[in-house]
Amino acid sequence: MRGLVERVFATEKRRMNLVVRDIGLVRATARITLANLAYNLRRLVWIEGRGAPA
């Protein structure tokens, strides 16, 4: 179960180069939120591209 969540964090760290070293909670929250949005959009494109199961 933990592996499902760790994949998201690993993707954000390696592919998106997400390292949060911002001054202020608002900037850090915004950076993490945008990274999560980008990850979810990438997953949506991948899922939509697979097509309907036969």
What would the pLDDT profile of 24-50 be if each residue is shown by its tens digit?
999 889 988 998 999 999 999 999 888
Query: What is the pTM for the complete model shown?
Result: 0.72
Give residue 51's pLDDT band: very low, low, confident or very high (50, 70, 90). confident
Residue 54, pLDDT score: 58
Percent of the chain with pLDDT over 90: 17
- Quick one: which of 29, 24, 15 has its CA closest to 7? 15
pLDDT at residue 6 above 90?
no
**Phi-psi map region of 24: left, alpha, beta (phi>0 left; psi -120 to 50 alpha):** left
Residue 44, pLDDT score: 92
